[in-house]
Amino acid sequence: MLSEKIKQNLKNIISKYEKKESAIISILHEIQKEKNYIEDSDISELAKLTELPYSKIKAVLTFYTMFNSKKVGKYHIQICRNISCHMAGAKKIEKYISEKLGIREGEVTKDLLFSYSTVECLGSCGTAPVIMINETYYENVDEKKIDEIIEKLKVAK
Amino acid sequence: MPKVIIDGKEFIAKENETVLNVAERNGIYIPRYCYHPALSIAGNCRMCLVEIEKMPKLQIACATTVTDGMVIHTQTEKVKKARQDVLEFLLLNHPLDCPICDQVGECYLQDYYMEYGLKKSRIDLKDKNRKPKRRDIGKHLILDNERCILCTRCVRFCEEVTKTSELFINSRGDHSFIDIKTEEKLDNDYSLNIADICPVGAFTSKDFRFKERVYRLSSTSSICLSCATGCKIKVQHNNGKIYRILPDPNIYTNTWICDNGRMSYKITAGPDRLTKSIIKSEEHHLNKAIIKLFDILKEAKEKNLKIAILLSDYLSIEDNFALYYLGFEILKTDLIYASKEKEQKIEDGILINKDKTPNSNAVSQISKLYGIKKYEDLKDCDLLIGFYDDIEKLNIPKNKSVALSYKADKEYDNLIAIKTYFETEGSFINWQYFLRKTAPSVSAPTDTISVYDLCLKISELFGYYPKEKELNKIFNELKYKTED
Amino acid sequence: MNILLNDNFDLKTYITNGGYNALKKSFTLKPEEIIEEVKKSGLRGRGGAGFPTGLKWSFIPKTKTQKYIVCNSDESEPGTFKDREIIHKNPHSIIEGMIIAGYAIGASKGYFYIRGEFAREARIMEKSIYEAKEAGYLGKNILKSGFDFDIVVVRGAGAYICGEETALLESIEGKQGKPRIKPPFPAVKGLYGCPTVINNVETLASVPYIVIYGGENYSKIGVEKSSGTKLFSVSGPVKKPGVYEIPLGLSFKTFFYDWLGGMKEGEELKAVIPGGSSVPVITAEEAMNTKLDYESLQKIGTMLGSGGMIIIPKSQCMVELLYVLARFYHHESCGQCTPCREGSGWIEKTLNKILNYKAKKQDLDLIVDISNNMMGRTICPLADALAMPVISFVQKFREEFESHIEGNCKICGK
């Protein structure tokens, strides 16, 4: 279900673009900001409201990997697994996070706060290993830093 | 007009023509999957790669516009290796479904493999990508994502031809697959064309599924009679049974056919096909039925009863004129009626005509030439002969009717079992005024008869033996177009 | 442009350091003159392709139709993190470069396409664009020149392929990022079918300097066919990883020891990927004997690329690394054309087997064969970007791969 805020904001977002269709990625980002994932029913609703074909919107949703089609944690941890982060110990970081939270890739913690996935190069290789939680970068991470970050997030509003 | 050289031969190309089109026009076939003449260019299959001098990399023929002096090679080692490699990539994750796949006999993968591939597989079966199979996509189609080579012909068809955009590519890379909204059904009126254009067995027709091997089918060119558009079709049959209809693409009338027209062959067989005539509620063999009908007509004539004849927009020119002859010359009745003129136009922007009958333009001409009355003028009669569909539409009392029919219907006392136009010839004039003929592909059930032959036999029983010239003179009187 | 600026990126700082003077000067020149200066400078595309920028601009037809400048800030090439640095430290240089480029080709609108993960950087750009607009450097009749220009920031959503020019345009238009068939090229038919120039962040950020000091002076930096400075983003176990601005032609040896401080304690140099994972790998020896410019690197069979330099130590197994790269390209392939779509998955699967000691002898030649069969036959160079690492890794470090096939690896510990 799209929120009222999104529905009211649609015209505004679309006005920034030269064609209605071009606003799709931006709108999907907005929807994801609210509940950290995008449901199929959101796409159906969006198709009706914008009068764009469902197929075009769903095609975009499934093509771009930042969009979550399945429910994720309130804080979705994305661990870079590409070359420089790999050399800097990304696998150890992944193992640590997985064991610390008690989940595997694709799963969500029982308190619904955390989930993780491995992603490709985040463009900050000089400060490897790098992780991204929702849309925030954390660079030069080690086990200690991860402990701090997770504790902070657990108590955050 | 640019001059190009392909494989050493010089050809004159049209302005802005692609290498693939110039070559094909001149008898040089370049293999391809994603290219289709009625759809936009995708350039994704990479099968049509050719060598063009002065260009370092191979170029795709479907998207390369020719320039004056271009020299193209389609048979060099480089090109042959490219085709072989592209085929290897296409077959890499393709399932070994041939034994159960309907596409066999018209499969681009099989055919090109034999022609250009012949490489042994270098991947273990267990390593092949798995994807959803046997998906019920709509009224007429089944989708097998594993067999799909992602040429996007189907996606482009839905976007560009039917403009309904149901299909899309879900995900990316080798995980991508053709998809549709979950509860939605792909049932726009042209969905079965997708099974035609799918070069592999990804989209298959539910109706044709598992019924017959393509290479056992014979093809007969004919026309569709589901509406006034009168699309040219190919009727495919084997051993006296029709299995499917395909469009016969042409520049005059149609590239595609609608799903309705595609299914029209079903009238030939099935539980409600009328295989024996019914006279006075009793079933009879053909000859007996004709005699009994003759008896009814003779009696009616002697008692001076009002006998009406309905001409039909559903029947051929030959059949209509024979009915007219029977009524006017033999039964000496002037109670002959035909439909009023119908509005004709393509009502969906593609093929389906507002006029759902195939022969209005011929019958309306016959009506004018011979002063035929209109259906609306029909008030009272004691006996009526007409085509079943017309009688049904006009709500004529069934006990007064002799219906010429393919369908059995217990409500009628008198039904004459006639041949369908899949079983006999018939001339029709479509909305563009083209005169075209159906051709029989299968034999009709033994005790059926064409309307023309029925009228002839009745005439003979009345002692008249009209010459063919007499019954065919109508063709000299009608106005129509023929294809160049 | 000075990369040693503080992380203080507001308009005031920029102007204090001479910002927007190049724009002012541009309006005193004719658009063709600016294109000439850029041509004279020898500036080449800094995103990876190295195409001469002035030449690219000159392809735009001189007609009075809608045209666009697009800044490619997709930066997803593994090992590359230099454009992010420019956004952090000098965002206005990009904006100024875009406006000047727009003026030079007659475009009234610019799009700043930034990868979705750079959310913070997108906000920085939006703030900077707002600042510039408020100060009159963007909008209608800029500095009373009669020239209108506006920039819109558009975010991606996680697709490396959108760094390819035409895939980027597809993404701005709101579609899946699948590269278009070329020709027609973007200069003729680009964004929304209009003539478009797409330039990398660093390329555009270099433009203000060229306008102020002149193309000839810019060409005096660097070496003959590789003029100017280049940002190198260095990662791997060196003492000082990070972003560096070097004069092109600098020897790798000097760069490695004097600038990067050499390897970290306990590590030894084995291999170098000089310009982002898509360029062929070179051995330590080859690296030590080469200079960092387009021609020198091409001569030894690799490329300058994006300048995303990855330093590989002896303690790193090459098989494992190549597997990581293959997995990346497979993940990022858009899936449009056959060789890349199927070949990338095949290579990853086979490398996985080699990595886990489950491969057959012929599997090593197989991945090289697949790579050769992919190259040059696709719509865009992603297939080549996978093929080149595979071929070069196997060519230069074959023993490590053969070792894995035989069932052991000293580095991996089996």
Q: Which of A23, A67, A126 sits opposite C241 (nearest CB)?
A: A126
**Contact criterion met (CB below 8 Å) for C305 and C274:** yes
Is the Cβ–Cβ distance between C172 and C70 less than 8 Å? yes
Q: Retrieve residue A84's tokens.
A: 């420089």
Question: What whole-number distance in Å separates Cα of residue B417 and Cα of residue A70?
Answer: 61
Best mutation target, C161, C327, C336, to test chain B (most B CBs within 10 A): C336
Q: Which of B165, B169, B172 sits opposite A53 (nearest CB)?
A: B165
Instruction: Please report where in the chains the tokens 């703030």 appear, as a residue.
Output: C127
Question: Is the CB of A63 less than 8 angstroms away from the CB of B171?
Answer: yes
Residues of A in contact with B167 (CB under 8 A): 55
The answer to whether the beta carbons of residues B36 and B60 sit under 8 Å apart is no
- Number of domains composing chain A: 2
Whether residues C194 and C333 fall in one domain: no
Please give the structure tokens belonging to residue C234: 């260095």
Q: Can you give the pLDDT at residue C239? A: 97
Give percent helix, percent strand, percent coil of chain A, each to the nearest 5: 50, 10, 35
Residue A140 near chain C (CB below 8 Å): no
Which residue, among C69, C51, C83, has the nearest Cα to C305 in the 3D structure?
A: C51
Q: Over the stretch A5-60, which tens digit does the pLDDT of each residue have?
A: 999 999 999 999 999 999 999 999 999 999 999 999 999 999 999 999 999 999 99
C305: left (phi over 0), alpha (psi -120 to 50) or beta: left
Beta strands in C255-372 (DSSP E): 269-273, 282-283, 291-292, 308-313
Same domain, C216 and C227: no
Are C335 and B169 an interchain contact pair (Cβ–Cβ within 8 Å)? yes
C8 pLDDT band, cuts 50/70/90, is low
Q: Using 50, 70 and 90 to split pLDDT, how confident is the model at C160?
A: very high
Range of lowest pLDDT (B60-69, B182-191, C80-89): B182-191
Same domain, yes or no, for C343 and C392? Answer: yes
* A85 shares a domain with A52: no
The answer to the question of residue C185 being in a domain is yes
On whether residue A8 sits in a domain, the answer given is yes
User: How many H helices and E strands in chain C?
Assistant: 18, 13
Q: What is the pLDDT of residue C188?
A: 96
pLDDT, mean of residues C105-134: 96
**Burial group, residue B412, by CB count within 10 angstroms (0-12, 13-18, 19+):** buried
Q: Which residues contact A5 (CB under 8 A, 6 or more apart)?
A: A34
Chain B nearest-CA distance from C183, in A, is 8
φ and ψ at residue B135, rounded to 5 degrees: -85, 130
From the candidates A125, A131, A136, which should be mutated to test the interface with C, based on the most C CB atoms within 10 A? A125
Residue C6 has pLDDT above 90, yes or no: no
Do residues A79 and A143 share a domain?
A: yes
> For B99, left (φ over 0), alpha (ψ -120 to 50), or beta?
alpha
Can you tell me the mean pLDDT for B120-131? 94
CA distances for B275 relative to A124, B263, B406, C211, C307, angstroms: 79, 20, 8, 90, 81
> Does residue B184 belong to the interface with chain A, where contact is any CB pair within 8 Å?
yes
Indicate which of B157, B159, B170, B174 best probes the interface with A, i.e. most A CBs within 10 Å of its own CB.
Answer: B170
The tokens for A136 are: 């925030």
Together in a domain, C21 and C112: yes
- The tokens describing A123, both together, are 């463009």
C78–A125: do the CB atoms touch at under 8 Å?
yes
| Residues from chain A contacting residue B173 (CB–CB below 8 Å) | none
Q: Band the pLDDT of A1: cuts 50, 70, 90.
A: confident
For chain A, say whether C87 makes contact (Cβ under 8 Å). Answer: no
Contact A55 B171 (CB under 8 A): no
Subunit contact C159:B88, Cβ cutoff 8 A:
no
Domain boundary among C313, C332, C365: C313
Q: Does C176 touch chain B (CB under 8 A)?
A: yes
* Residue carrying structure tokens 């027709």: B205
CATH of the domain at A15: 1.10.10
Percent with pLDDT over 70 in chain C:
98
pLDDT the model gives residue B20: 97
Q: Say yes or no: C93 and C240 in one domain.
A: no
Min mean pLDDT across A113-117, B380-384, C39-43, C162-166 is at B380-384
A40/B286 Cα distance (integer angstroms): 61
Work out the angle at residue B98's Cα, subtended by the Cα atoms of residues B93 and B102, and round it to the nearest 5 degrees.
115
Cα A109 to Cα B54: distance, rounded to the nearest angstrom: 60
- Maximum C-alpha span of chain B: 91
Residues B237-282: tens digit of each pLDDT: 999 999 999 999 999 999 999 999 999 999 999 899 999 999 999 9
Share of chain B above pLDDT 70, in %: 100
Query: What's the pLDDT at B379?
Result: 86
Nearest one of B308, B361, B300 to B334, comparing CA atoms: B308
Mean pLDDT for the stretch of residues B45-73: 97
pLDDT given for residue B380 in this prediction: 85
- Long-range contacts, stretch A39-47, CB < 8 angstroms, 24+ apart: A39/A1, A39/A69, A40/A69, A40/B182, A41/A1, A42/A1, A42/A2, A44/B181, A45/A1, A45/A2, A46/A2
Chains that touch A (3 or more CB pairs under 8 A): B, C
Query: What does the angle CA B132 – CA B136 – CA B139 come to, to the nearest 5 degrees?
Result: 155
Residue B345 confidence (pLDDT) above 80: yes
- Which pLDDT score, from 0 to 100, does residue B396 have? 83
E strand map for B159-303? 168-170, 177-179, 203-205, 218-223, 232-238, 241-247, 277-279, 282-284
Residue A151 lies in a domain: yes
CB contact under 8 A, A132 and C117: yes
Measured between alpha carbons, how far is B123 from B91 in angstroms, rounded to an integer?
10
Residues A82 and A149 in one domain: yes
Alpha carbon of C3 to those of A38, C46, C75, C233: distances in Å?
A: 40, 15, 18, 12
* Preferred mutation among C160, C170, C180, C337 to probe B, highest tally of B CBs within 10 A: C337
Same domain, A90 and A146: yes
Cβ distance C338 to B46 less than 8 Å, yes or no, reads yes
How are the residues of chain B apportioned to helix, strand and coil, as percentages rounded to the nearest 5? Answer: 30, 20, 50
Share of chain B above pLDDT 90, in %: 93
Domain coverage including residue A105: 75-155
How many beta-carbon pairs under 8 angstroms link A with B? 25
Q: How high is the mean pLDDT of chain A?
A: 96
Q: What residues contact B61, with CB distance under 8 A and at least 6 apart?
A: B18, B19, B20, B23, B30, B32, B48, B49, B50, B72, B74
β-strand pairing of C222-223 with C226-227: antiparallel
In a domain, C231, yes or no: yes
d(CA C387, CA C370): 8
Do C99 and C184 share a structural domain?
Answer: yes
Q: Given a cut of 60, is residue C1 above it in pLDDT?
A: no
Q: What is residue C3's predicted lDDT score, i.e. its pLDDT?
A: 52
Half-sphere exposure of B107 (CA within 13 A, CB side): 26
Residues A49 and A100 in one domain: no
| Contact indicator for C398, C361 with CB cutoff of 8 Å | no
The sheet carrying B3-6 orders its strands as B9-12, B3-6, B71-73, B49-52, B59-60
The residue among A35, A63, A91 that closes a domain is A63
Question: How many whole angstroms separate alpha carbon A119 and alpha carbon C356?
Answer: 22
**C176·B172 Cβ contact <8 A:** yes
For chain C, what is the radius of gyration of the CA atoms?
A: 22
CATH of the domain at C384: 1.20.1440.230
* Residue in C81, C175, C324 nearest the CB of A124: C81
Q: Give me B158's structure tokens.
A: 């839905």
- Suggest the residue from C182, C341, C375 to mutate for an interface test with chain B (most B CBs closer than 10 A): C341
Residues 50-109 of C with CB under 8 A from B: none
Structural domains of chain B in order of their starting residue, each with its CATH number: 3-87 (3.10.20.740), 97-103+122-268 (3.30.70.20), 277-477 (3.40.50.740)
Mean residue pLDDT of chain C comes to 95
B170 in reach of chain A (CB within 8 A): yes
Are residue C251 and residue C142 in the same domain, yes or no?
no
Token reading at C231: 């940002």
CB proximity list for C110: less than 8 A, separation 6 or greater: C68, C69, C70, C71, C98, C99, C101, C102, C149, C150, C151, C152
- For residue C406, give how far its alpha carbon lies from the nearest alpha carbon of chain B (Å): 20
Closest Cβ opposite residue B173 in set C338, C341, C377: C341
Q: Tell me the C-alpha to C-alpha distance, in Å, between residue B300 and each of B277, B288, B295, B320, B458.
A: 20, 18, 8, 22, 14
pLDDT at C414 over 90: no
The reply to whether omega before C183 is within 30° of 0 (cis) is: yes
Residues C28 and C86 placed together within one structural domain of the fold: yes
Verify whether the Cβ–Cβ distance A59 to B168 is below 8 Å.
Answer: yes
Q: Please report which confidence band the pLDDT of residue C10 belongs to, taking 50, 70 and 90 as the band edges.
A: confident
A58 touches chain C (CB under 8 A): no
Give the separation between CA C268 and CA C316, rounded to whole angstroms: 10
Domain boundary among C200, C220, C240: C220
Using the beta-carbon criterion (under 8 Å), do C341 and B169 form an inter-chain contact? no
Is pLDDT of B38 > 90?
Answer: yes
Q: How many residues does chain B have?
A: 484
**CA nearest C195: which of C277, C102, C319, C276?**
C102
Supply the mean pLDDT for chain B: 95
- On whether residue C6 sits in a domain, the answer given is no
Domain that holds residue C360: 318-406
